[in-house]
Amino acid sequence: MNANKISDITRRKISDEIIFSNIYYGGLLTEPEFLSRLFNLKNLLSRDHRYRNAYDDIYQHTVNNDDYPADWIYSDPRINLLYCEDDKYLDFLIETVHPRVRSNQNEIEKLLEIYNRHLNADGFEIVKNGDISGKPIFSGRKKGVGETHFISQKKEIKKYLDTEYVNNKIKIMTESVYENTELAIGTAKELLETTCKSILKYKNVAIDTNWNLAQIIKKTSENLDFLPNGVDEAVKVGKSIKQILQGLSSVVHGVTELRNSYGTGHGKDADFKGLEMPYAKLLVGVVSDIVVFYLTINNETIELVEN
């Protein structure tokens, strides 16, 4: 039984679109050169009786004579991209956009777009995970609950603050969690502050320019109605909710401290090292939840106050 999560349907769609886009998967390399980065072709059998191994066989039919079909690597049992393990298939995709293999930036962007559009259906994605000689390198991974949560939160925020400014902040905040944690932290703080100021303006509450973020959030909480509708003892429940929300001051303090230490907006030493991804991801998730909660409680489309 095939335990792969990336279906043969998805793999075939990716193959077909690459061929349709007239992009050669091996980039700057010949097919045997490229495949040798993933497989020990010298130890695989030849399907042509004239040759002793797969490397010589593939060289003959793809370099000397171009008589293999464009998608042969999907059906050839030695490579078997259509049914090989998910990790092996992702390794193949990643290798096609490696700097050693491909230098055309337009092709790299096109391939990544094709991969992620189709992989999304099976819950996978290709993401940047570092650099080599100043060029990006990538890795494949299964999308986790965190990514799904970010996507849903972005959609909810945009219901109430659907502007180019906010959309850009959301995009930067969520995407930079994996690549630039200090940018993610700084942007999360800015989005939270923008949301609170926008709500206060909507409520006709004067904003003191000397307020810090904790004071802005406290004032926002004071001007929102947390009494749930249709709940017995609503006043008591609302009071309990406000007690819970007092913990926001601790969250805000953490946001401020992280931004001062790791986020954008402050000068850094030459040997500065950014906060590790899990911590930035946690912060971005918390800020997203706070923003969505405030906007949902306010339940109105509000005019944006840009910082």
Query: Is 286 or 299 the better-scoring residue by pLDDT?
Result: 286
What average pLDDT score do residues 172-177 get? 75
Q: How much is the CA Rg of the chain, to the nearest whole Å?
A: 26
Confidence of residue 142 (pLDDT cuts 50, 70, 90): confident
Q: How far is CA 307 from the centre of its chain?
A: 25
* Contact between 294 and 195 (Cβ < 8 Å): yes
Greatest alpha-carbon span in the chain: 86
Rounded Cα–Cα distance for residues 258 and 126 (Å)? 28
Across 179-190, average pLDDT? 79
Rounded distance between C-alpha atoms, residue 39 and residue 117, angstroms? 27
Question: Residue 236 has what pLDDT?
Answer: 67
Please check the confidence at residue 91 and state whether its pLDDT lies above 50.
yes
Residue 192 token pair: 């939270």
The more confidently predicted of residues 266 and 188 is 188
Res. 73 pLDDT band, cuts 50 70 90: very high
* Of 55-69, 151-165, 241-255, highest mean pLDDT: 55-69
Question: Is residue 41 very low, low, confident or very high in pLDDT (cuts 50, 70, 90)?
Answer: very high
Model confidence at 249: pLDDT above 80: no
pLDDT of 269 higher than 60: no
Interior CA angle at 61 toward 115 and 15, to 5°? 15
Q: What is the DSSP string of 147-162?
A: HHHHHHHHHHHHHH--
Q: pLDDT tens, 121-140?
A: 998 999 887 788 889 999 88
C-alpha pair distances (Å), 135 with each of 102, 103, 120, 130: 11, 9, 25, 8
Model-level pTM? 0.53
Q: Which amino acid is at 48?
A: D
The CB density around residue 138, as the number of other CB atoms within 10 Å, is 22
How much is the pLDDT for 145? 47
Q: Average pLDDT over the chain, rounded to whole? A: 81
What does the DSSP assignment read for 208-265? -TT--HHHHHHHHHHTS----TT-TTHHHHHHHHHHHHTTHHHHHHHHHHHHHHTSTT
- What is the average per-residue pLDDT within 172-189? 77
